[in-house]
Amino acid sequence: MVYYCCTLVYDCRKLVYYCHKLVYDCRILVYDCRILVYDCRILVYECRTLLISLSMSISSQYFEAIADYAGVEGDTNYIAVKKGDVVRLIKKDKEWFTVEKDGHIQKVPKGILIQKENKISSFNMNLQKNTQQNRNREDCIGYN
């Protein structure tokens, strides 16, 4: 009888050990899942940032130079453009446009630029609509 009691105690201790191990493993899984959720939220944020950046660059106004402009000698605030060059508008002033050309942001006289038709503005509208729909979905499932 004592033998069976000892065996039973041994088996119970073994069972407790495996239960503790199972609880420990479950805690590790929960921790790993929390890390995955956190990483997913970071990815969602980065995707939103990229979409906004893409949206801003798509919705930008582009202008084409209708004449050559050499800039202002000795002043790096003004950019030289040649007829046919396409630049992206950053800011409009009374007489000058601040534009981006080849990664440089500088000024050009307003009179030598004409606005180009933005053929992808409809794409931008759909992108903004889809982005808002995705945000609404995320709000519904609690990821905001």
82 within 8 A of 113, measured Cβ to Cβ: no
- Specify if 92 maps to a domain: yes
Predicted TM-score (pTM) above 0.75:
no
Contacts 24+ apart (CB under 8 A), 92-97: 97/63
Is the same domain home to 74 and 110?
yes
3-state secondary structure the chain: CHHHHHHHHHHHHHHHHHHHHHHHHHHHHHHHHHHHHHHHHHHHHHHHHHHHHHHHHHCCCEEEECCCECCCCCCCCECCECCCCEEEEEEECCCEEEEEECCEEEEEEHHHEEECCCCCHHHHHHHHHHHHHHHHHHHHHCCC
- Which range marks the domain in which residue 52 is found? 2-58
CA distance linking residue 91 with residue 78, whole number of Å:
14
Do 33 and 78 share a domain, yes or no? no
29 and 16 part of one domain: yes
pLDDT of residue 28: 95
* Range in 73-87, 93-107, 125-139 the model is least confident about: 125-139
Mean of pLDDT over the chain: 82
Do 49 and 97 have their domain in common? Answer: no
- Segment 22-80, tens digit of pLDDT: 999 999 999 999 999 999 999 998 888 787 666 655 557 889 999 999 887 888 888 89
Answer yes or no: do 9 and 40 share one domain. yes
Structural domain contains residue 132: no
Residue 125, pLDDT > 90, answer: no
Contact 97, 63 (CB under 8 A): yes
Bridge partners of 115?
63
User: Do 104 and 86 reside in the same domain of the chain?
Assistant: yes
Q: Please determine, for residue 91, whether its predicted confidence score (pLDDT) is greater than 80.
A: yes
Residue 130: pLDDT above 60? no
At 5 the pLDDT is 87
Q: How many domains is the chain built from?
A: 2
Quote the pLDDT of residue 72: 79
The residue among 35, 58, 81 that closes a domain is 58
Q: What is the mean pLDDT of residues 78-107?
A: 90
